[in-house]
Amino acid sequence: MSELRIDIESLTEAYASGVQPTEVVETVFARLRAANDPGIFIHLADKQDLLRQAKELGTFDPALRPLWGVPFAVKDNIDVAGMPTTAACPSFAYAPGEDATVVALLKGAGALVVGKTNLDQFAAGLAGVRTPYPIPKNAIDPSLVPGGSSSGSAIATARGIVSFALGTDTAGSGRIPAGLNNIVGLKPTVGALSSRGVVPACRTLDCVSIFALTVDDAYRVFSVAAKHDPLDPYSRAVPTTPLIERPPAPRVGIPAKADRRFFGDVAMEAGFDASLVEIEALGCRLVEIPFKDFYRTAELLYEGPWIAERYAAIGDFLETHQDAMHPVTRSIIGAARSLTAADAFKGLYALQTLRARLAPVIASVDVICVPTAPTHFTMAALEEEPIATNSQLGAYTNFVNLLDLCGIATPCGTLSNGLPMSVTLLAAAESDGKLAALAADLHATSKATLGATGWRQRPRPSAPVQASDGLVRC
């Protein structure tokens, strides 16, 4: 199998030196065979057709097409023309006539779709196991849950099969699997990436997310895909500033010590403390903030009326195809039948109250840093408690879209037990560039290897820091 690195920066250099995209396609399929994991993809592109697309890319011009020849995977609730969309439910499958907006933009930049990846059915879950297909294997340790719902996308990226992958994120599906597989998970501002052509989970909260091996790669993809879509009523124009500077001595809010939740995982708790030391070393000022209202907000997503929004998306299918649905997914979404319009308004009132209470807390800091996941669960533990463990995985993720925050899950090295440590940086909507700049520096400081590839991070020039007097200092 080729040792060719296919993080985007390395791949761009390889193309400039004469490597052909057809060689990359061969590498992709060789790595997929070597992974020996039938749960990663639900549908694969025809290899000969992908080789043909690679040959037809034309002249290498990364300025004109910044993702020229870059292979990527797409979560199978996002439309790709010529490939079925199943949302991990074969009876739901349909053949889209056109690409989702985000896929079309990436193809237009020269990227090549390798296939459609596995997920928790209808994107309902954070563990990555609620699928009728084989469960994808965690790329770091197959005894652990892979993370979901974007499980296949994260693992394809972590194994170096593709350069990046698209997921979706409503409750943490673009961050949890990133954290559990030692890769970057960029969850943009809601609406920054069009969700037209995406099977909805919660239409008002859904995000298309990006998995990559490095922050720079994730942000490069974001910069291509973050375009306002006039045909998507939830689309919004979000600036994509270059990653050249981060704010001076940013105030980084962290959960108050007494409010932190690790569910007995002392290694993860120690890993979070070590990550905070690294953040301080970057010149950040740590500020403890109360976190109980964040947790109360998180509880609304699955314990409040937002479950009815999931029912609104697929209720007709559920009522006519109950036996086709995963039993846990059917149970969770089916619970919405007991909810009323009055419950929906009560939920909105509760959320607005929490938003008002949390607004000054969020405004008191520049960035919030939380563990991406509170612990690593084994497959065995999940089988014993499928609902409780899934809920615990979302402790630091479920509130994010409800509060209109953007975020980026960032690897921070290895825990004492050998498992990956990851934190997520959060900030108010449209702060995507600011977050990515800090995340890139943090990832570089951690010296974490990339996913499960064993590849070391490339040297990254220190980003200049904007001083309080307006001057830029290195």
Q: Quick one: which H or E segment has residue 25?
A: helix 21-35
Question: Pick the catalytic residue: 10, 149, 209, 431?
Answer: 149
- Taking the C-alpha atoms of residue 212 and residue 161, their distance in angstroms, rounded to an integer, is 11
Q: Is 10 an active-site residue?
A: no
Listed residue (440, 405, 393, 354) closest to 179, CA to CA: 393
HSE toward the beta carbon, residue 1, CA cutoff 13 A? 14
117, 76 contact by CB (below 8 A): yes
- Taking the C-alpha atoms of residue 381 and residue 194, their distance in angstroms, rounded to an integer, is 36
Sheet of 184-187, strands arranged across: 41-44, 112-117, 71-75, 164-169, 207-212, 184-187, 405-414, 420-428, 367-371, 251-255, 285-289
Q: Is 447 an active-site residue?
A: no
HSE toward the beta carbon, residue 212, CA cutoff 13 A? 25
- Taking the C-alpha atoms of residue 288 and residue 274, their distance in angstroms, rounded to an integer, is 16
Q: Is 194 an active-site residue?
A: no
**What would the two tokens of residue 262 be?**
């690790």
Tokens 């301080």 found at: 280
- Beta-bridged to residue 83, according to DSSP, are 80
Question: Pick the catalytic residue: 75, 116, 137, 434?
Answer: 75
200, 192 contact by CB (below 8 A): no
231, 196 contact by CB (below 8 A): yes
Listed residue (423, 452, 439, 411) closest to 262, CA to CA: 423
- Taking the C-alpha atoms of residue 98 and residue 81, their distance in angstroms, rounded to an integer, is 5
CA-based angle 290:291:294, to the nearest 5?
Answer: 135
Question: Pick the catalytic residue: 10, 150, 173, 391?
Answer: 173
Main-chain dihedrals φ then ψ at residue 127, nearest 5 degrees: -95, -25
- Taking the C-alpha atoms of residue 304 and residue 199, their distance in angstroms, rounded to an integer, is 21
Q: Which residues are catalytic?
A: 75, 149, 173
